[in-house]
Amino acid sequence: MTRPSELVVVTGASTGIGRATAQRLALDGLHVLAGVRRQEDAERLAAVNVEPLILDITNDDHVAALGERVAGDGRRLRALVNNAGIAINAPVETLELKEWRRQFDVSVFGQIAVTRALLPAILAGTGRVINIGSVAGRVAMPSFGPYAAAKFAMEAVSDALRREVAEFGVEVVVITPGAVRTNMTESGIATATRLSEGMTPEQHGRYDKLMAAFLRQVEAFARDGVEPERAAAVISRAIAARKPRTRYTVGPDAAMVVPLSRIVPDRLLDRVLRRQMKLN
């Protein structure tokens, strides 16, 4: 087997979309530097063309080591897939600032840190930045505020970066999945349940119905979601395309909601979301 001549970095590759993407891109013939946070995940993931690295994207030393690993490799960095993420969801009033900061530390500042560390290599090799967004980065459902805020922020960062580096031949692409069957459902439910327990009696009075609707919604995402391999295939396409689109959706829900979000007035969308969450 020949040694791949190009690198790709995938963050958050221990499970879900990240793992499926690392495996898919290795099959595409790229050498995948796959970021994981635990040694046991590294051992599980290691395979032909998949080289796990310990990478917590909120850890400055890990991010600097990744930059050095890529710079010292000598091969072209074809793409960075900013996939790592967490989902902290609760009504705005109930969520302490430290939880908002944690959401942003991982899903915004961590993405930016990795992007900044690897941009010199991406510019040198006219590579690509692939940011994993979400339908929640286009439509903020009630109780999804922190996660949606982080994903909206990354939409803006992606637009700005795309316009900054286009003239140097670097493409910036946002992948917008709808529901995908991954660990995020379980961890999202566990986090929301923990946060609910910290609510005051008044907040329980105001938001218990909403939190029950939230849990039903997340369970429906898990039931109806597409497999992570489907997202991996779209990411593979965005990397391989000669002239990629600026945005790709994954799954039928995203394909429907994203175009609608551009044209439906706010008040109408408010009513649609209340009905969808059975809040009426």
The site for ligand NAP (CB under 6 A) is made up of 11-18, 35, 37-38, 55-58, 83-86, 106, 110, 132, 134, 177, 179-180, 182-184, 187, 221, 225, 228
Q: How far apart are CA 263 and CA 30, in angstroms?
A: 39
Q: How many residues does the chain have?
A: 280
Residue 206's φ and ψ, nearest 5 degrees, are -75, -35
Catalytic residue among 20, 53, 80, 147: 147
CA gap 47, 28 in Å, rounded: 14
Q: DSSP states of 127-145 as a string?
A: -EEEEE--GGGT---TT-H
- 207 annotated active-site: no
Of the pair 17, 277, the CB lying nearest ligand NAP is at 17
CB of 31 to ligand NAP, least distance (A): 19
Comparing CB distances to ligand NAP, the nearer of 181 and 206 is: 181
Rounded to a whole number of angstroms, the minimum distance from the CB of residue 167 to ligand NAP is: 28
Tokens of 123: 């510019």
Distance CA 136, CA 88 (A): 12
Tell me the closest approach of the beta carbon of residue 241 to ligand NAP, in angstroms: 20
Tell me the closest approach of the beta carbon of residue 79 to ligand NAP, in angstroms: 16
Torsion angle in degrees (nearest 10) through CA of 176, 254, 280, 187: -50
Q: Which residues are part of the catalytic machinery? A: 147
